[in-house]
Amino acid sequence: MSDCIFCKIIAGQIPSAKIYEDELIYAFLDISPINFGHTLVIPKEHHQSAAAIPENVAGRMFHVASRIGILLKRMEEFDAYNLHLADGTAAGQVVMHAHLHVIPRGAEDNFRWNWRQLNYPEGKMAEIAGSIAEKLQKKLAE
Ligand code: AMP
Ligand code: ZN
> Which residue, judged by its Cα, is nearest atom 13 of ligand 1?
30
Pocket test for ligand 1, best of 4, 7, 9, 30 (most atoms within 8 A of CB): 30
CA pair distance 103, 19, nearest whole angstrom: 14
Task: Give the pLDDT confidence score for residue 142 in this predicted structure.
Answer: 85
Q: How many CB atoms lie within 10 A of CB 122?
A: 6
Task: Give the pLDDT confidence score for residue 56 in this predicted structure.
Answer: 98
Task: Give the pLDDT confidence score for residue 129 in this predicted structure.
Answer: 98
Task: Give the pLDDT confidence score for residue 4 in this predicted structure.
Answer: 98
Q: Are 98 and 49 in contact (CB under 8 A)?
A: yes
What's the 48 CA to ligand 2 centre distance in angstroms?
7
Active-site annotation holds for 99: yes
Pocket test for ligand 1, best of 14, 36, 40 (most atoms within 8 A of CB): 40
Q: Which helix (H) or strand (E) holds 97?
A: none
Tell me the whole-structure pTM to 2 decimals. 0.95
Cβ < 6 A, ligand 1 pocket: 5, 14, 16, 30-32, 40, 86, 92-95
Helix (H, G, I), strand (E, B) or coil at 69: helix
What's the 100 CA to ligand 1 centre distance in angstroms?
10
Tell me the per-residue pLDDT of 5-43, one tens digit each, with 9 for 90 and over. 999 999 999 999 999 999 999 999 999 999 999 999 999
SS3 string of 1-53? Answer: CCCCHHHHHHCCCCCCCEEEECCCEEEEECCCCCCCCCEEEEECCCCCCHHHC
Segments of the chain with pLDDT less than 70? none
Q: Are 105 and 84 in contact (CB under 8 A)?
A: no
